[in-house]
Amino acid sequence: MQNLPTDIIYSKIIPYTYNVQPSFILTDIKNFFETKQIISNIYYIRNSHLLEFEENADKYWLIGDILLFIKRHKQSSFTKINKSYNKFICSNKSVHNQFNIYWSILTPTERDNFILLRE
pLDDT band with cut points at 50, 70 and 90 for residue 101: confident
Q: Check residue 38 and give its pLDDT.
A: 95
The pLDDT-based confidence of 86 (bands split at 50, 70, 90) is low
What does the pLDDT average to over 16-31?
Answer: 89
Domain ranges in the chain are 23-118
Q: How far apart are CA 50 and CA 97, in angstroms?
A: 21
Whether the per-residue pLDDT at 8 is higher than 60: the answer is yes
Q: Look over the chain and give the mean of its residue pLDDT values, rounded to a whole number.
A: 82
Residue 14 makes CB contacts below 8 A (sequence gap 6+) with none
* pTM: predicted TM-score of the whole model, two decimal places: 0.73
Looking at per-residue pLDDT, the higher value among 9 and 90 belongs to 9
Percent of the chain clearing pLDDT 70 (strictly above): 82
